[in-house]
Amino acid sequence: MNSKELFALFLRVVGVLGIIFIVRHALQLGPSCTICPVYLIIKWVIGALVGLYLIRGAPLLVKFAFPEKPGSPAQ
């Protein structure tokens, strides 16, 4: 594995851990939550979207971190 693949794998692991954290946090809060539920739902949706993007490998982040060198074959 080269460094680009390891970075993409790291992003996927962070995405999985982020989704697990969001689900655990959502399950721990019960109906006795004093914070505005709309705020929590928006926060969870944004967190889930970021986590899913990271699970997909975050192609834009990988491309930013490892730009293609001119003259190299495209993968």
The tens digit of pLDDT for each residue in 12-63 reads: 999 999 898 888 887 776 666 666 778 778 888 898 899 999 999 888 988 8
Domain for residue 74, yes or no?
Answer: no
In a domain? residue 72:
no
Q: Is residue 40 part of a domain?
A: yes
Q: How many structural domains is the chain composed of?
A: 1
Please report where in the chains the tokens 């490892």 appear, as a residue: 66
Q: SS3 letters for 6-74? A: HHHHHHHHHHHHHHHHHHHHHHHCCCCCCCCHHHHHHHHHHHHHHHHHHHCCCHHHHHHHCCCCCCCCC
Range of the domain at 54: 3-65
State the residue for tokens 């003259």.
Answer: 71
The pLDDT value given to residue 38: 80
Tell me whether residue 19 is in a domain.
yes
